[in-house]
A and B are shown apart, each in its own frame.
Chain A
Amino acid sequence: MRIEIRELGRTFGSAPAVEGVSATIEDGEFICILGPSGCGKTTMLNMLGGIIAPTAGTILFDGVDVTKVPAEKRGVGFVFQNYALYPHLTVAKNIEFPLAIERVPRAERRRRVREAADLVQVGPYLDRRPAELSGGQQQRVAIARALVKNPSLLLLDEPLSNLDARLRLEMRVELQRIQREAKVTTVFVTHDQDEAMSISDRTMLMNRGRLVHFADPQELYDDPAELFAATFLGNPPINQLRGRIDDGDLTLADGTIVQGIAPAGLTVDAAIVGVRSETVTLASTAPRARARVEDLQYVGRDVYADVRLGDARLSALVSRREVDRSLVGTEVPIGFDADGVHVFDAESGRRIR
């Protein structure tokens, strides 16, 4: 199902939880809504599901305005963050619930419950109560209940957040497989960037109720629309250099000059230059400045160098062969790969280059 969201907004009291969000989700896409806690992800999802009524804007399902259609009539599948399985019903009855409401004939009901249970591999637990299942099993039952009615839209609110790291990875793969098999348009809420990156076709990055950037995850990382996007994605977080740019040269607050970090001809009074740690080199043949290596951190196969550049600190991801302990305390010629350098307006946070 193709979903169009136009200028969607929701305020609680006077505080906006979601503001002016416009986006189009194509049929069969797997979309993640990503953002920090309280940015409006759940509110967005609940508006798509009809659980919360928007205070502004419209939602179209396949061109039909459903903004005022209540949850009962939207026919979407929803997996809640806390699963919300009916505690008084067995797993089988839980999965069957939407079909019983639809008055699907008994024999067909039984067949579809079987199918859905097999798809998420909860067949052996059909006679148990939700309280007798592990978190991962409950979650799969919740997915089965959402899928059994063959919805054309599947909404999931941080369904993996209660699982341990390994099960989480397994369920990610599982969920992708299920989504592909069922070919269902899916919107998945998460605050975990790795989850969003690995699972989604495209990711909606939200901040303070606004849609910051809606693109495929790699573009989000490589080409952030705002400083927020650049800082939210990536680990370690992107390095930030504040200062004034004059014809491509950056002057930091203490007067240190980083030459040619921005394209020639660019002049910005107050800029923040974001530099991904993997694009910093410590033995540059075309150095931009000299910097002091303060420490080296060995994390598995990676080495992170803590570098002081004027009054700024940078983290640089370097290869093990490139560095050794003797470098600590010395000054090195530092360089940047232009691909990982982004220039933002310090005031608005908007990307300039």
Chain B
Amino acid sequence: MTANRRSWPRATAYLLPFLVGTAIFTVYPIVYLLIVAFQEDYNILTREFSQFGLSNFEAVLRDPDFGNAARNTALYTVIVVPVTISLGLAIASLLARIRFLRPFYQTALFLPLVTSSVAIGMVWKYIYNADYGLLNFLLSTIGLDPVNWLNDPRWNMPALVIFGVWSALPFTILIFVAALQSIGEQYYTAARIDGATVVQRFFRITVPLMGSTIGLVAVLNLIDSSKVFSELFPLFNGSPGAGFSLYTVVYYIYEQLSAEWDLGRAAAASLLLFAAVLVLTLLQAVLQRTRRRRS
């Protein structure tokens, strides 16, 4: 105990630069945002406001643009998260089996994380190109008509979803492979003896034993995809898609700031997004717990 108490000042000294940085760049903006969201008629230049109230939230919730943004974001998230989880689990299960491929895919999976988004954007623009793109070429080989991925409002969302899944997969796969490798081989052997096929082993052994990892990855992907916005830059040069089909909540927040200079509304919209993600995260935790208690 005494040793602990004596090392206090030193520990503080070591941590100070980090704590100061966190305070200035993380804590202060969050607190500021919390306050501003409730200040009515806030003036970004003079920092004056008329009174504390809920008018910012009211305005945001009544704004049809926000409604549209919320719908687009929800649609994107509802597709990207389950697709990423399922694909990630399937690919991870295959990769975990093929031992000699491990060094290769461990590198390959990190490539998207360390490659510049400009380069990635160029590649994807090529993939999505209506006339000579890879995707349309693949579609044509199975006899489907070409699609104008980037300029047809109906196909903007699918294009963004595919790109979103592609971006989220590497991280998801890495976590899943690690979790898969921690499941003892003996359970699979026992299940084989008990007559379980590959598919039955996957659903009766792998999935339940990975339950908490799947939940965690789902939440992380949920948080990430609910903030969908930066993906618009490499693919659509920062435009919210043809006909505003990709107008998302974060895009709305960004527009409130950059076009309307309305910090109050931007803050209120941010808090609403945060609340939605929080509710979903808690829901996931509750589901996890009841599922564990039930089985």
A residues with a Cβ closer than 8 A to B are: 49-51, 70-78, 80, 82, 84-90, 93, 97-98, 101-102, 145, 149
Which residues of chain B are near A87, meaning CB under 8 Å? 187, 209
Q: Is the CB of A93 within 8 A of B295?
A: yes
Contact pick for B192, options A70, A77, A89, A145, CB 8 Å: A70
Question: Could you tell me the distance between the alpha carbons of A86 and B200 in the complex, rounded to whole angstroms?
Answer: 14
Question: Could you tell me the distance between the alpha carbons of A283 and B192 in the complex, rounded to whole angstroms?
Answer: 62
Q: 18 A-B residue contacts at CB 8 Å?
A: A71-B189, A71-B192, A71-B193, A72-B192, A72-B193, A72-B197, A76-B193, A78-B193, A84-B187, A84-B189, A87-B187, A87-B209, A97-B191, A98-B195, A101-B194, A101-B200, A101-B204, A102-B195
Which residues of chain B are near A149, meaning CB under 8 Å? 194-195
Which residues of chain A are near B197, meaning CB under 8 Å? 72
Question: Could you tell me the distance between the alpha carbons of A88 and B186 in the complex, rounded to whole angstroms?
Answer: 14
Known: A88-B209, A88-B295. A101 touches B190 (CB 8 A): no
20 additional contacts, CB 8 Å, given A97-B204, A101-B195?
A51-B193, A70-B192, A71-B189, A71-B193, A72-B192, A72-B195, A75-B195, A76-B193, A78-B193, A84-B187, A84-B189, A86-B205, A88-B208, A89-B295, A97-B191, A97-B194, A98-B195, A101-B200, A101-B204, A102-B195
Q: What 0/1 readout, one digit per residue, does chain B (177-197) give for beta carbons within 8 Å of chain A?
A: 000000010110111111111
Which residues of chain B are near A93, meaning CB under 8 Å? 295
Q: Is the CB of B194 within 8 A of A145?
A: yes
Which residues of chain A are near B193, meaning CB under 8 Å? 49, 51, 71-72, 74, 76-78
Which residues of chain A are near B196, meaning CB under 8 Å? 72, 101
Q: How far is the CB of A52 from chain B (nearest CB, A)?
A: 10
Interface residues of A, dominant DSSP: loop
Interface residues of B, dominant DSSP: helix
Question: Could you tell me the distance between the alpha carbons of A50 and B192 in the complex, rounded to whole angstroms?
Answer: 9
Q: How far is the CB of A85 from chain B (nearest CB, A)?
A: 8
* Count class of interface residues, chain B: 10 to 19
Nearest 7 Cβ contacts at the A-B interface: A84-B186, A98-B194, A84-B190, A71-B192, A78-B193, A101-B195, A88-B208
Q: Is the CB of B194 within 8 A of A80?
A: no
Q: How far is the CB of B71 from chain A (nearest CB, A)?
A: 38
Question: Could you tell me the distance between the alpha carbons of A49 and B269 in the complex, rounded to whole angstroms?
Answer: 61
Which residues of chain A are near B192, meaning CB under 8 Å? 50-51, 70-72
Question: Could you tell me the distance between the alpha carbons of A36 and B196 in the complex, rounded to whole angstroms?
Answer: 33
B residues with a Cβ closer than 8 A to A are: 184, 186-187, 189-197, 200, 204-205, 208-209, 211, 295
Question: Could you tell me the distance between the alpha carbons of A90 and B186 in the complex, rounded to whole angstroms?
Answer: 17
Which residues of chain B are near A73, meaning CB under 8 Å? 195
Which residues of chain B are near A84, meaning CB under 8 Å? 184, 186-187, 189-190
Instruction: Name the CB-closest residue of A to B205.
Output: A86
Q: How far is the CB of B139 from chain A (nearest CB, A)?
A: 39
Contact pick for A51, options B189, B200, B208, CB 8 Å: B189
Instruction: Name the CB-closest residue of B to A145.
Output: B194
Q: Is the CB of B208 within 8 A of A80?
A: no
Instruction: Name the CB-closest residue of B to A51.
Output: B189
Which residues of chain A are near B194, meaning CB under 8 Å? 97-98, 101, 145, 149
Which residues of chain B are near A71, meaning CB under 8 Å? 189, 192-193
Instruction: Name the CB-closest residue of A to B192.
Output: A71
Q: How far is the CB of B109 from chain A (nearest CB, A)?
A: 28
Q: How far is the CB of B182 from chain A (nearest CB, A)?
A: 12
Known: A72-B196, A86-B205. A80 touches B189 (CB 8 A): yes
Q: How far is the CB of A49 from chain B (nearest CB, A)?
A: 6
Contact pick for B190, options A50, A70, A76, A86, CB 8 Å: A86
Which interface residue of A76, A82, A93, A98 has the most chain B CB atoms within 10 A?
A98
Instruction: Name the CB-closest residue of B to A73.
Output: B195
Q: How far is the CB of B180 from chain A (nearest CB, A)?
A: 15
Q: How far is the CB of B293 from chain A (nearest CB, A)?
A: 11
Which residues of chain A are near B208, meaning CB under 8 Å? 88
Q: How far is the CB of B277 from chain A (nearest CB, A)?
A: 28
Q: How far is the CB of A244 from chain B (nearest CB, A)?
A: 52
Question: Could you tell me the distance between the alpha carbons of A348 and B186 in the complex, rounded to whole angstroms?
Answer: 39
Which residues of chain B are near A70, meaning CB under 8 Å? 192
Instruction: Name the CB-closest residue of A to B185.
Output: A84
